[in-house]
């Protein structure tokens, strides 16, 4: 019987946590069919089976965290795998938003006796599947529905192909839909309150798996990559004029490049000229990449996700704008796919929309650098002995000193500035 192993769903993934099994022991599986939802270091993702057959054994229960390559299930003929259990497969350890219960043994099999019955909400998608109409919902929507007791089978999805997304679940929950009652042991709370102290009431919140990984990776980045920072001010007056012309020329429904799209394009062109900035320091050597893939930091679900604009140096501004908007939308509704989160060679992080004028970002290891972009402000400047105004934007480049040295980083940043100050070069 072939094993289904914990897949690598992103280039930086080292382990994954089983969130939900979409199939039960005894179910038939087709190639390309979604069988399990897995929480990785970047997002929650549904894994599509690469084998066909009958699910004969589940080796990893919901909430279990396993390294890449570790078997999580077996597929074969039903006659080879033994009879399926009488009831639904239940997890031997309770979970909270996909976080592993540390009191449960690692890799505990899903066939262990459950701590309580299964809620009606958790059974809703399975029941719909048995009726021949599997509920189509993003992983984030499924998790939110489980938290709020919303029956997904009663929701009409607004996403592509009728897919239920997060906003659909929120709308159903806020509309006064009663939460499904359960006869189970309540799910462990996300937070707990400690006795009041001199600081007032203290509330303890457990981070999600994604937040735990972000915390670990950012700590590792600061601890292992010797950061140094280069700052400059870019005059965006001509970029403001150019965007105004692009907006006036745009057809109905056509993506209008934002200033961040211009920054992505400028970085991509500069990365092509400075290979060290488009590389990484790994295992004692330099890795230089032929493709220029710019990651764009997007805030989602109280965490940070970095989807990738591939070959940004070869794309026009309008294509970059369309790609960036599509990726941000997928991150927010939970439909982002593993390939769209992989392969980044450099990252742009923009907080200008929040009014932040200057900040220093942490490098997304093992990349060589990250550009932090602030807000564009109209300020007085001295020009030709007189005072006038200009649109100015502050940027800060964080560099990994093991591969990107001071002079190289300064030249790279100067090239980015030159391209943005004369945006005609972005179209070349």
Ramachandran sector of residue 334 (left: φ over 0; alpha: ψ -120 to 50; beta: rest): left
Structure-token match 């990107």, residue found: 404
> Do residues 328 and 264 touch, judged by C-beta distance below 8 A?
no
For helices 166-174 and 139-148, angle between their N-to-C axes, nearest 10 degrees: 20
Q: Please enumerate in sequence order all residues whose Cβ is within 8 A of that of 383, keeping only pairs 6 or more positions apart, or say none.
A: 390
DSSP state for residue 161 in the 8-state scheme: G
What is residue 406's three-state secondary structure? helix
Name the residues annotated as catalytic.
401
Q: How far is CA 364 from CA 55, 146, 266, 295, 370, in A?
A: 38, 32, 19, 9, 7
Please check whether residue 231 is in contact with residue 358, taking contact to mean a CB–CB distance below 8 angstroms: yes
- In degrees rounded to 5, what are phi and psi of residue 391? -90, 115
């Amino acid at each position: 019987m072939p094993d289904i192993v914990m897949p690598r769903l992103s280039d930086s993934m080292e382990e994954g946590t089983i969130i939900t099994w979409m199939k039960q022991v005894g179910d038939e599986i087709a190639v390309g069919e979604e069988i399990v939802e897995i929480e990785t270091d970047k997002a929650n993702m549904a894994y599509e089976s690469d084998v066909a057959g009958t699910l004969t054994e589940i080796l990893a229960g919901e909430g279990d965290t396993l390294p890449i390559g570790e078997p999580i299930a077996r597929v074969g003929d039903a006659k080879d795998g033994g009879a399926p259990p009488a009831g639904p497969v239940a997890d031997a350890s309770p979970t909270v938003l996909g976080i592993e219960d540390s009191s449960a043994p690692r890799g505990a099999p899903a066939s262990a006796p459950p701590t309580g019955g299964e809620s009606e909400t958790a059974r809703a998608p399975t029941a719909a599947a048995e009726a021949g109409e599997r509920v189509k919902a993003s992983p984030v929507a499924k998790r939110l529905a489980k938290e709020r007791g919303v029956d997904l089978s009663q929701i009409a999805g607004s996403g592509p192909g009728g897919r239920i997304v997060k906003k659909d679940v929120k709308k159903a929950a806020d509309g006064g839909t009663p939460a499904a009652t359960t006869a189970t042991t309540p799910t462990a709370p996300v937070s707990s309150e400690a006795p009041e102290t001199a600081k007032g009431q203290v509330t303890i919140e457990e981070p999600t798996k994604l937040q735990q990984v972000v915390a670990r990776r950012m700590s590792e980045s600061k601890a292992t990559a010797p950061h140094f920072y280069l700052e400059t001010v870019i005059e965006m007056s001509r970029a403001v004029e150019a965007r105004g012309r692009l907006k006036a020329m745009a057809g109905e429904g056509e993506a209008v490049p934002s200033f961040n799209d211009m920054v992505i394009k400028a970085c991509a062109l500069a990365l092509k000229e400075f290979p060290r900035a488009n590389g990484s320091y790994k295992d004692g050597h330099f890795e230089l990449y032929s493709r220029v893939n710019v990651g764009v930091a997007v805030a989602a679900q109280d965490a940070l996700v970095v989807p990738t604009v591939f070959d940004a140096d070869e794309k026009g501004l309008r294509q970059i704008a369309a790609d960036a908007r599509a990726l941000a939308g997928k991150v927010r509704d939970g439909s982002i796919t593993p390939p769209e989160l992989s392969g980044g060679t450099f990252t742009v992080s923009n907080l200008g929309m929040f009014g932040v004028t200057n900040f220093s970002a942490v490098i997304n290891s093992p990349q060589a650098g990250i550009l932090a972009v602030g807000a564009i402000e109209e300020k007085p400047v001295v020009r030709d002995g007189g005072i006038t105004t200009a649109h100015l934007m502050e940027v800060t480049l964080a560099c990994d000193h093991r591969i990107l040295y001071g002079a190289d980083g300064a030249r790279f940043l100067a090239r980015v500035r030159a391209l943005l100050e004369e945006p005609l070069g972005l179209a070349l």
